[in-house]
Amino acid sequence: MNISDSPLPGLRLIEPRRFGDHRGFFAEIWNRKAYEDQGIAIDWVQDNHSLSATPSTLRGLHFQAPPHAQAKLVRCGRGRLFDVVVDLRRGSPTYGQWGGFELSAENGHQLLIPAGFAHGFVTREPNTEIVYKCSDYYAPETEGAVAWEDPEIGIDWGLDGTDPILSDKDRAAPRLSGVDTPFTYEETAP
């Protein structure tokens, strides 16, 4: 596997090795020992799987606050999506900045998102599936969100004038300036 650091501290792009032939491919997408050898020692407690039937479905930007903050290991199981994170860690050198990555069934890339980031994605193909591991259980009382179109963050979702398909919750999310972020940057955080 190849692991690359991103400009946002703690956020890492992972490229699992694929072994392919005329039948398709095989890839090991999680191996506790292999990841621990790379300094990734997270106790995953929940796996989530989401299907978005229509291209330009946008979900996010979501987070869970402490004591149920979640790190995530995200990949695309089918189709193609643009995955986006925003650094919400007060004191971080990249606070309020975003990063975006194309994840697809074809490229097999994974994104390791530490706790303290808002996460969202927009689908590029019909019937796109996102699959991800979480380091804490779903706790609706700790849910938070940031507006996907916050001009101060300035995310380029690559929608090219297309209106995204949104939930009512995502449509009503506040701008980052209206969020009292519960996260603090720790330089040694994974």
CATH code of the domain in which 51 resides: 2.60.120.10
On whether residue 92 sits in a domain, the answer given is: yes
- pLDDT number for residue 29: 87
**Distance of alpha carbon 51 from the chain centroid:** 15
- How many independent structural domains does the chain possess? 1
Q: Residue 147's pLDDT band (boundaries 50, 70, 90)?
A: very high
pLDDT above 50: residue 144: yes
Catalytic residue among 35, 62, 68, 138: 62
Task: Express each pLDDT in 149-180 by its tens digit.
Answer: 999 999 999 999 999 999 999 999 999 999 99
Q: At 121, which amino acid appears?
A: F
On whether residue 154 sits in a domain, the answer given is: yes
In the block, which residue shows the tokens 């796996």? 47
Does residue 62 have an active-site annotation? yes
On whether residue 35 sits in a domain, the answer given is: no
On whether residue 26 sits in a domain, the answer given is: no
Which pTM was predicted?
A: 0.93
Catalytic residue among 35, 109, 119, 132: 132
On whether residue 25 sits in a domain, the answer given is: no
In the block, which residue shows the tokens 């929608």? 159
On whether residue 161 sits in a domain, the answer given is: yes
Does residue 35 have an active-site annotation? no
| Cα→Cα distances 107→95, 103, 156, Å | 29, 7, 21
